[in-house]
Amino acid sequence: MFPPLLPTYNRTDIAFVRGEGSYLFAEDGKRYLDLGAGIAVNAFGNANPRLLKALTEQAGKLWHTSNLYRVPGQESLSKKLVAATFADTVFFVNSGTEAIELAVKMARRHHFVNGQPDRFRIVTFDGAFHGRTYAAINAGGNEKYLEGFGPRMEGFDQLALTGDVAADLAAVKALVGPATAAILIELLQGESGVRVIAPELLRALRKLCDETGTLLVLDEIQTGMGRTGKLFAHEWLGITPDIMTVAKAIGGGFPLGAVLATADAANGMTVGTHGTTYGGNPLAMAVGNEAVDMLLEPGFLDHVNKVAGFLNQQLGALVDAHPGIFSGVRGQGLMLGLTMKVPNTDFITAARAAGVIVLPAGDNVVRLLPALTISEDEVREAMAGLDRAAAALESKPELKAAAQ
């Protein structure tokens, strides 16, 4: 019998029924320290009191009206984001993949209204993940996600980065031509293994876009909203995009995404060119406004940077203590990956048995994306659990042999 719930996920056989800060509680009552945060979504912890208050107060007033009418929460949140970023304008959606869809449309439409309708191609990069809609999987280019869904969508030119900045830049320059509308890139590739893109390359891409009239689109769905210790990761580089996609932490657990853009990049998006039924609904805007207020409060990002430094230090010690299990740590801020010598899935299972939730990623990496509000004491507790998990694996002869 075909299951009533479409079987598209390989789910772990555990169900969480309650959350509190950095902790999750399962059906059987067991408590877990959560270093996954719903894949970087629950940035303020589980059941954050301020977000809960904002949501429940709005829920008692109005849930949905559609975008046929003004939504005051959209107006206030867009002003906050414009004031805090490079952007001149914002469009609200429900998810990251919807934000990518609009970014693609916006980039192409910009050139269309500027008299260059043939500029529709977008340069993307191997290892990227931009979502699961049709344009997003074509932009990402992962064959696993594309198989069986018909012909590839025209207009995406994908490049595999080598880590050699000069060679990679030369390869990008060879791809960018008269038909190129935009370059779309993540600053850290989370799903493929917390792979850091070289800052020198990102700065060079900004310069290349300026020289060629190409739009730079930054996917900050996972890296944005404080995850790396800045409001957005590109701030570390001293560059700004023309278009940026945002989601995950901006809603603190409530479905919310956004596209931020300069006035020039967005000049083709006039009445009727895009729309959404639920995007920017009053519930999402109530939570989003509160989440952004929290991020912008003095000291919040200072805490992220302090605890990130502490976590990185502790992970380094963990790697040194278990050289047969781990080979290193990579990432930035509170977006970190443990590179493994044993199968990452085995370690994730062992960590869960030790009461700690961590996430899988490509390249045999274990991904850590804790709440931005995690404390140093909670980091210590998490490290004790991960240490126990590593020791448990070391005691298994078959895994010990695999690590050698």
Domains of the chain, each with CATH number or no CATH: 64-296 (3.40.640.10)
Give 109-171 as a DSSP string. Answer: HHHHHTT-TT--EEEEETT----SSHHHHHHH--HHHHTTS-SPPTTEEEE---S-HHHHHHH
Name the residue with tokens 């006039």: 270
3 state SS of 337: strand
Cα(155)–Cα(161) distance, rounded to whole angstroms? 19
Strands (E), 151-273: 156-159, 180-186, 188-189, 195-196, 215-219, 243-246, 257-261
Burial class of residue 149 (count of CB atoms within 10 Å of its CB; 0-12, 13-18, 19+): exposed
- Give how far the C-alpha of residue 216 lies from the chain's centroid of Cα atoms, to the nearest Å: 18
Burial class of residue 398 (count of CB atoms within 10 Å of its CB; 0-12, 13-18, 19+): exposed
Query: Block means of pLDDT (10 residues each) for the chain, length 404 residues?
Result: 96 96 97 98 98 98 97 98 98 98 98 98 95 92 91 94 96 97 97 95 98 98 98 98 98 97 98 96 98 98 98 98 97 98 98 98 97 98 98 82 56
Reported pTM:
0.96
| Contact criterion met (CB below 8 Å) for 364 and 394 | no
The pLDDT value recorded for residue 399 is 61
Residue 336 tokens, joined: 């970190």
| Contact criterion met (CB below 8 Å) for 256 and 250 | yes
| Contact criterion met (CB below 8 Å) for 187 and 202 | yes
The pLDDT value recorded for residue 397 is 75
Burial class of residue 189 (count of CB atoms within 10 Å of its CB; 0-12, 13-18, 19+): buried
The pLDDT value recorded for residue 123 is 98
Pairing mode, strands 359-361 and 180-186: unpaired
The pLDDT value recorded for residue 216 is 98
The pLDDT value recorded for residue 396 is 85
The pLDDT value recorded for residue 213 is 98
Phi, psi of 125 (to 5 degrees): -135, 140
| Contact criterion met (CB below 8 Å) for 9 and 329 | no
